[in-house]
């Protein structure tokens, strides 16, 4: 019975997973202490390279965060002992509200849209991912073989 194993994901697979999701966690430093917060996001893919677009309230903890941040999405299947995670490390950049044309492309559509007028982008310097593959079970049940 083979053991479980970790696979490094190529960047194109990481971007695919980032496209499919819209909620992740941003890791920031607040007064020198780490803090992780859930956020809505959208992956924007201009010719200059991928960006993660986030909208938040002006002046809140994310809007005041230092430039260096980390961002993560994942999926975990505890029943099958498998899952994946994508980690984005980058620089948090403040931006003015985009034009109506650009807004449709980058709007992260926050679940609570009220007062979310601060536009932030994470400019990645690293996008990495890993996938955990479960060990094969000793008991393999195939539907047609036992009915």
Quick one: DSSP state of residue 48? T
Q: What confidence tens digit (pLDDT) does each residue in 5-52 have?
A: 789 999 999 999 999 999 999 999 999 999 999 998 999 998 889 999
Report the distance separating Cα 35 and Cα 62, nearest Å. Answer: 10
Q: How many residues does the chain have?
A: 147
The structure tokens listed for 130 are 């890993």
Does this model's pTM top 0.85?
no
Give residue for tokens 């200059």: 48
Question: C-alpha distances in angstroms, 93 versus 17, 67, 100?
Answer: 22, 7, 20
Q: What are phi and psi of 143, to 5 degrees?
A: -50, -50
Check residue 118 and give its pLDDT.
79
The structure tokens listed for 147 are 């009915």
**Domain locations along the chain:** 5-37+50-132
Report the distance separating Cα 40 and Cα 26, nearest Å. Answer: 10
Please check whether the domain covering 5-37+50-132 is classified as CATH 1.10.10.10: no
The structure tokens listed for 10 are 């190529």
Q: What is the mean pLDDT of residues 72-82?
A: 89
């Amino acid at each position: 019975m083979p053991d479980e194993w970790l696979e490094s994901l190529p960047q194109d697979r990481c971007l695919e997973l980032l496209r499919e999701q819209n909620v992740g966690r941003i890791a920031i430093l607040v007064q020198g202490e780490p803090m992780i917060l859930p956020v809505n996001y959208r992956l924007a893919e201009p010719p200059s390279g991928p960006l993660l677009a986030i909208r938040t309230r002006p002046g809140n903890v994310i809007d005041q965060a230092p430039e260096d941040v980390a961002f993560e999405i994942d999926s975990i299947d505890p029943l099958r002992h498998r899952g994946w995670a994508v980690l984005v490390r980058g620089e948090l950049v403040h931006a003015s509200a985009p034009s109506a044309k650009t807004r449709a492309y980058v709007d992260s559509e926050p679940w609570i849209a009220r007062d979310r007028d601060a536009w932030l982008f994470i400019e990645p310097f690293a996008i990495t991912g890993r996938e955990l593959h479960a060990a094969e079970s000793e008991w393999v049940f195939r539907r047609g073989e036992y009915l």
